[in-house]
Structure 1
Amino acid sequence: MSAFLQKIGKPGRTALLAAPGVLFFFIFFVVPLASLFLLSLDKPTLGNASIQWLFDFRNFERFFSRSIYYEAAIRSAGLAALVSVIALILGYPLAYLIAKTTDVRRNTTLMILVLSAMQLDMVIRLFGLMVLMGDVGLINEFLRWLGLVGDEPLPLMYNFAGVVVGLVQFSLPFMILSLVGVIQGINPALEEAARSLGARRWQTFWKITIPLSMPGILAGLLLVFAISFSSYVVPTLMGGWKVVVLPIHIFQQVAELGKWQFGAAIAAIMFAISFLVMLIYQRAAIQASGGRI
């Protein structure tokens, strides 16, 4: 085997090692995605999921001609952007603490707390939130016991705020993990040099630490945005079908109405929006970091 690898040379070894991953990516991502795009261009046919090679743009015309669909796209993008910002605000201090903690036991404990949130299935975690935030949940019952609310409970669920809380709770560990490694990679000598030149702690943080951790911020924002933008379970359970986002429309069109072509068109538009937002994020981050990304 080693003689064979030496014979094919370094470029051949690289191609050989990359071949399984590339093949898997092509079969299970590129092919389904291309099929989805082709299906979205077919003539709307109820209950038919096969590609007919009929290039018809009526599915996209329907999406942009009805406000219920393009408003859902705006709502989905706005929700994902808001969740990304909140996750960054909540996750950066904890990631900074983990990265700067030198005590091995304390650092391990903090990492276990972050990773433990990812061990349970998302549905189980959301059911736990429902027990906490429901109309007769722990929060409302505690507030009733204190006499702060009456018979009308606080609307903590089945609204936009409930969906935001659910998405932040689910995506926060991904933001923290994206930031920890980057912050740990920042050379402490740079911060010490800034302090020795008279910079205050907050000046060092904003002028040195934040710019150098921009790659982790970018990665976390992109990851949280993608998770939130494509989430179906969280808006369904925490929003109670009242916060209608694009994944809910896709499910309704395909699973309930059998309109595969229109559901594929919504999915194609959703993919295009996500890809466009990622390009905008990357360009803005490159400019903010001085071209280091």
Structure 2
Amino acid sequence: MTLASQTLPPQSSARHHRHMKSLLVVPLTIFFVIFFVVPVGLLFASSLNPQTLGQVAVTSELTLDNYIRFFSRSSYLMAAGRSVLLATIVSMVTLVIAYPMAFVIAKTENATRNTVLLILVLAAMQLDMVIRIYGMMVILGDNGLVNQMLVALGLTSPDAPVQLMYNFLGVVLGLVQFSMPFMILTLVGVIRGINPSLEEAARSLGASRRRTFVRVTLPSSMPGILSGSLLVFALSISSYIVPALMGGFRVGVLPIHIYQQVAEGARFQFGATIAVVLFLISAGAVAVYLKVGARNSGGLA
């Protein structure tokens, strides 16, 4: 106990501790308000301003013309659906690939082997995203290593390479490679936190390793599955670099449209409108995902 808590009455001491705990969140609250709440608020306000070419400042004149334009054009609605579909597919593929690796890392008791596996996971995060994507372009391009190998095996011809880039598949592969470490690290912590006695009890009651995994380990790791999937979904639906490089601007997702409106057309108000729609779609999808995940894991909806 501190000297202050020894001299204060019990009720005053409890209030003092609650006051001190509340002070700990003040820096984060200030940072959150300045760098998230204020920018998002300005983004919403700008989306309600009339379209003025090259104007960035928020005005008091309000209109819904930008939203009417967005929802009246099929190209933007298709881009919104494509963004959600892309993020969903990437989340599912990343989870399927990352879970075995996370399980091995979490269950490995040898310290040296565990360190090596973690280094392999973390090594991918040490390089800049653009460098990693360019590395994938060398592998997956029309004249890349994969197509060269297929030509050498006689499975394809140099004149008709397998299209692994500048399409939806290329964007999926790029986003899976980018988000894999985040999913693995999220799952490792949760799997390690599963009480080993639960698995031992299932085995002692006659359950096989496979049944123990399906009935005990997998449900117990649901919080990590949900958290990792949400993280990957958020990273994928808002990604611009991967669709730009691996998709070659041919995969029309919402971040690409935002870039085109703001950087190429100087239509800041309509770009803000697309950004608001992207924000609302992401927030809505996350809310639905959380509710469904809470029900499936036995939590409160």
Pairwise TM-score range, normalised by the shorter structure: over 0.9
Unaligned runs of 5+ in 1: none
Deviations 1:194-224 (A, max 9, x none): 1111222221111111111111001000000
Q: Deviations over 1:40-86 (max 9, x none)?
A: 01111111111112221111111100001010000000000000000
Amino acid across the alignment from 2:104: L
Deviations 1:157-199 (A, max 9, x none): 1111111000000001100011001000001110111111122
Matches within 5 A, 1:252-267: 252-267=260-275
Change (3 A) 1:3 1:265: farther
> What does 1:172-191 align with in structure 2 at a 5 Å threshold?
172-191=180-199
Structure 2 residue 207 is the aligned partner of structure 1 residue 160: no
Give, in angstroms, the shift of residue 142 of structure 1.
1.9
Query: What is the CA–CA distance in structure 2 between the aligned matches of 1:128 and 1:220, rounded to whole Å?
Result: 25
* Aligned residue among 79, 89, 95 for 1:82: 89
Aligned to 2:110: 103
Query: Aligned letter for 1:109?
Result: V
What amino acid sits opposite 1:42 in the alignment? N
Aligned to 1:124: 131
Q: Residue type of the partner of 1:178?
A: T
Structure 2: runs of 5 or more not aligned: none
Distance of aligned partners of 1:61 and 1:292 in 2 relative to their CA distance in 1, 3 Å threshold: closer
The TM-score with structure 2 as length reference comes to 0.94
Over aligned residues, Cα RMSD in angstroms?
1.7
**1:9-54 deviations in whole A, cap 9, x for unaligned?**
2122122211111101110110000000000011111111111122
Q: Which residue identity is paired with 1:17?
A: L
Shift of 1:138: 1.1
Q: Which residue of 2 aligns with 1:200?
A: 208
Q: 1:221 aligned to 2:252?
A: no
Please name the residue that 1:52 is paired with. 59
Following superposition of structure 1 onto structure 2, how do residues 216-255 of structure 1 map, counting pairs within 5 Å?
Answer: 216-255=224-263
Aligned equivalents of 1:79, 1:228: Cα separation in 2: 7
Paired amino acid for 1:249: H
Q: Percent identity?
A: 56
Q: Aligned in 2, Cα 1:46/1:4: closer, same or farther, shift over 3 Å?
A: farther
Q: For each residue in 1:218-243, what CA deviation from the matched residue of structure 2 results, as whole angstroms up to 9, or x when unmatched?
A: 10000000000000000000001110
Decide which of 104, 124, 141 is 2:148's aligned counterpart: 141
What is the number of equivalent residue pairs in this alignment? 292
TM-score, length-scaled by structure 1 = 0.96
Three-state SS of the structure 2 residue aligned to 1:106 is helix
| Aligned-partner SS, 2:125 | coil
**Deviating 4+ runs (over 3 angstroms):** 2-8
Higher deviation after alignment, 230-239 or 9-18? 9-18
